[in-house]
Amino acid sequence: SMFWFILKDNSGGKINFFIGIDRIDKKTIIIIG
C-alpha cells in the first residue's frame, strides 16, 4: 500500500509536493507540483 503525504505552502495554501511511501517495496515517490 502507498501512503501519501501532502505538504502545503503556508502562505497560499498551494500544494507544493506529494510524498508517497510504500512500506512493502520501501520506495519513496516525490511528486513536485
Range of the domain at 18: 2-32
What is the pLDDT, as a whole number, of residue 13?
A: 67
> For each successive 10 residues of the chain (33 residues), what is the average pLDDT?
76 75 86 75
Q: Which residues contact 28 (CB under 8 A, 6 or more apart)?
A: 19, 20, 21, 22
Polymer length of the chain: 33
What is the pLDDT, as a whole number, of residue 3?
A: 84
Amino acid at 8: K
Q: What is the total count of domains within the chain?
A: 1
What is the pLDDT, as a whole number, of residue 32?
A: 76
14: cell is 498551494
